[in-house]
């Protein structure tokens, strides 16, 4: 009987913030979920998910959709949010494992999430403005991988899977427009991200 090959442990990137705070909070992970095995592409094994962590700023719509799917499927998640857990609909629920910056300015958490992830996925449904446009600008300035998905064009979920594999992204920042600007984007984003994760 041939010997089994040992699983390779992939180290996580450093996650020390500019103010000296170390580490990301851990998501509330339950029993093994399909999300941890169906990021599989090519020769990846079930024990090696496509991403190790999903990061977002906790805003309504896309940010929240990414965190909801991660928590539902047992994928570790986290990220930075403004001081006071500020969002357009009030205080971000504590069930989302986010860290607060020392500022209520959304731009601070946007920059930190870009800097402390390995690539950014932007999901939109129409022209990007405001914080989403800033995210794209910051990612390009940092020279990090960026993929912009327009949901109105019925994108193939496999596009994201191939991009993640090709770029070797383990810590993924997910960003996009807020719900007040694009009503229904949260539900649309959840449906699409589930399709990406479940394959």
Query: 10-24, 91-105, 168-182 — which is least confidently predicted?
Result: 10-24
- How many Cβ atoms are within 10 Å of 108's Cβ, its own excluded? 18
Would residue 166 count as lying in a domain? yes
Q: Rg for the chain (alpha carbons), in Å?
A: 16
The model carries a pTM of: 0.77
Q: Give the DSSP H or E segment for 150.
A: strand 146-150
pLDDT surpasses 60 at 199: yes
How far apart, in whole angstroms, are the C-alpha atoms of residue 47 and residue 65?
Answer: 24
What range does the domain containing 129 cover? 35-198
Per DSSP bridges, beta strands 86-87 and 90-91 are: antiparallel
pLDDT in tens, 21-56: 344 443 333 333 333 333 344 454 444 567 899 999
User: Which DSSP helix (H) or strand (E) runs through 55?
Assistant: strand 53-55
pLDDT at position 190 is: 97
Give the residue carrying structure tokens 């357009």: 88
Q: The domain that contains 74 carries what CATH number?
A: 3.40.50.450
Residue 125 lies in a domain: yes
Number of domains the chain contains: 1
Does 152 fall in a domain? yes
Check residue 146 and give its pLDDT: 98
The whole-number pLDDT of residue 102 equals 98
Mean pLDDT of all residues in 167-185: 96
């Amino acid at each position: 009987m041939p010997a089994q090959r040992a699983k390779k442990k992939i180290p996580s990137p450093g996650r020390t913030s500019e103010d000296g705070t170390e580490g990301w909070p851990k998501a509330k992970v339950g029993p093994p979920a399909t999300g941890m095995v169906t990021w599989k592409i090519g020769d990846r094994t079930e024990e090696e998910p496509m991403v190790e962590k999903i990061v977002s700023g906790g805003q309504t719509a896309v940010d929240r959709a990414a965190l909801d799917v991660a928590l539902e499927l047992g994928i570790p998640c986290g990220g930075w949010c403004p001081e006071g857990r500020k969002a357009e609909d009030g205080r971000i629920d504590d069930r989302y494992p986010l860290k607060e910056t020392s500022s209520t300015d959304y731009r601070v958490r946007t920059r930190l999430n870009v800097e402390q992830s390995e690539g950014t996925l932007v999901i939109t449904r129409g022209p990007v403005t405001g914080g989403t446009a800033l995210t794209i600008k910051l990612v390009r300035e940092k020279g990090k991988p960026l993929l912009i998905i327009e949901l109105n064009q019925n994108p193939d979920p496999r596009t994201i899977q191939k991009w993640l594999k090709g770029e070797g992204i383990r810590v993924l920042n997910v960003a996009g427009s807020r719900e007040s600007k694009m009503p229904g984007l949260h539900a649309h984003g959840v449906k699409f991200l589930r399709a990406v994760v479940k394959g």
